[in-house]
Amino acid sequence: MPQPRRFVLIDRDGTINVEKHYLSDPDQLQLIDGVGPALRRLGHAGYGIAIITNQSGIARGYFNLERLEQIHDRLKAMLAAEGVAIDGIYICPHGPDDDCDCRKPLPGMADQAMQDHGFDPKLSTVIGDKEVDVELGQAIGATTFLVRTGHGETYAATSKADHVVADLPAAVNIILGEV
């Protein structure tokens, strides 16, 4: 029987791309140094890659779903230019006071990714720059990484993550056993 595919669920802002306060312009999208090659290595190693991102800017009226789709189209194109294929992008468009089950740290987006791709959360990894990413990973039984990029430095000293690392490439090195 083949081994189930392992997945890495990755936060977007501050983890994959440079943190911008409510990024609403595709032209402002900028990958964090080293992210493209790191994600390409994950893909070549057989890992699935899904982006999971709270996007309360929609609920707050800063941008709409069409604009978010433009941002994600640009992100996918930037990553594709680096040889990276993304298996899915999962969003929560709700605000912090909305009663939804998808806003991190709740597991709605991860549950949807698991349903779509059939992976075992206990064999998966969650990487993000906020403690809500870590809490989501813990809720589904995944290995967790807090990166110090984006907002990560704010949480680094008190994080309950399995690993606190400099950035996404450093997390990939550990995932792939290259430390």
Q: How crowded is residue 104: how many other Cβ atoms within 10 Å of its Cβ?
A: 24
Helix (H), strand (E) at residue 49: strand 48-54
Q: Which two tokens stand for residue 27?
A: 């032209």
DSSP-assigned letters across all residues of 120-169: -GGG-EEEESSHHHHHHHHHHT-EEEEESTTTHHHHHTT---SEEESSHH
| Residues with a known catalytic role | 11, 13
Element of type H or E holding 108: helix 108-117
| d(C-alpha 70, C-alpha 103), whole Å | 21
Q: Are strands 163-165 and 7-10 parallel, antiparallel or unpaired?
A: unpaired
Residues contacting residue 172 through CB under 8 Å, at least 6 positions apart: 38, 39, 41, 42
